[in-house]
Amino acid sequence: MIDASAPAILLSIPSPETGVWHILGFPLRAYALCIIAGIVVAMVIAGRRWRARGGSPETLETAVMVAIPCGIVGARIYHVVTDYELYFGAGRNPVDALKIWNGGLGIWGAVAFGALGAYLVARRRGASFPALLDAIAPGLVVAQAIGRLGNWFNQELFGKPTTLPWGLEIDAAHRPEGYSQFATFHPTFLYEMLWNLGVAVVLVWADRRFRLGHGKVFALYVMLYTAGRFWIEALRIDTVNEIGGFRLNNYTSAIVFCLATAWFVWLVKNRPGRETVVERAPGSAALATETSPAGGSEPDATGAATPESDSSEPGTAQPGTGEPGTTRSGAQPKDSESS
């Protein structure tokens, strides 16, 4: 609701009046619901992409089930470490660091710890970790987009004051010190949500067009996300640690962007094409490392590669041998199931 003492704004985006509903005495928090919705959507997208590459649903489901708690723990650890003054020191309650439902998750910690969990599963099940990352990347960035709606419900992490028609109304109780006279602010949650959805579209298109593999989709995701996060972070006015006048997350975005770009370039030069086998068949000694050429088969409209009739694709019998190039116990990889 707009403060009556603030300048009149003709057009604006309203904030929800509440982010918590009580049902049978239990609090139902919008922030948590947004995170759960994002996880579900990410699992659906990643599952379709992984199956289209020839991976087993069990491996993907196990990887996600391990990556989710690891990611949440990592996200909270990153937030608490980088904003420690919110939880420790005079007048602060360290127990608040455990109250994840009040907001405060750092994507950097989520991706790092989540990737670690996925790596452990991939190694145990004999799956290609880079291929698994490529399958997960588009769904992950869509999940981030959905999760940003939680900031909208909590009226948090918004940007500088603005009178633009899409300015976000913020209740007086949620305005930072020194901004009480302003009624509308840049909706950085919306900027990042739209940016992330655009990144997902680019990832699927690039994967279809260039048959990216060996971790190139994931590297591209990191590059594009950090590029957007850098300028969006510069708009925010929430209290964070700064170094030389720049927010800590700006430094993190810039450093991670450079590392991801170097990784992507190295992969393009040294790991062309994509894997034709992404998961070891039961009883096999090691995962095969065959790579299909970048211009091999044509992906379908959802980003999945559509197997061709030649013998280079998994699941197709090799001429003169009768040996199937299967991925797991002769199971044929499904096509047209990527998002």
Question: HEC profile for 186-215?
Answer: CCHHHHHHHHHHHHHHHHHHHHHHHCCCCC
Token pair 């190295």: residue: 266
**Residue 186 domain boundaries:** 31-275
Distance CA 213, CA 203 (A): 12
Distance CA 293, CA 295 (A): 5
Instruction: Report how many domains make up the chain.
Output: 1
Token pair 């940003």: residue: 148
Q: Is residue 42 part of a domain?
A: yes
Q: Which residue type occupies 121? A: V
Q: Is residue 258 part of a domain?
A: yes
Q: Is residue 303 part of a domain?
A: no
Q: Is residue 77 part of a domain?
A: yes
Q: Is residue 156 part of a domain?
A: yes
**Residue 3 near residue 172, CB atoms below 8 Å:** yes
Q: Which two tokens stand for residue 169?
A: 């109304």
Distance CA 104, CA 200 (A): 24
Question: Which DSSP string corresponds to 326-339?
Answer: -SBTTBPPP-S---
pTM > 0.85: no
Q: Is residue 124 part of a domain?
A: yes
Alpha helices in the chain (DSSP H): 30-52, 57-82, 107-125, 129-147, 149-154, 188-210, 216-235, 248-270
Q: Which two tokens stand for residue 134?
A: 């490529």
pLDDT for the residue 78: 92
Q: Is residue 293 part of a domain?
A: no
Token pair 């769904």: residue: 139
Q: Is residue 204 part of a domain?
A: yes
Question: Which DSSP string corresponds to 296-322?
Answer: SSPB-TTS-B---SSTTSTTSBPTTT-
Average pLDDT, consecutive stretches of 10 residues, N- to C-terminus, the chain (339 residues): 54 94 93 94 97 96 95 92 87 88 84 96 96 97 96 95 96 95 97 98 97 97 98 93 90 97 98 93 59 51 42 42 43 43
pLDDT for the residue 282: 66
pLDDT for the residue 231: 97
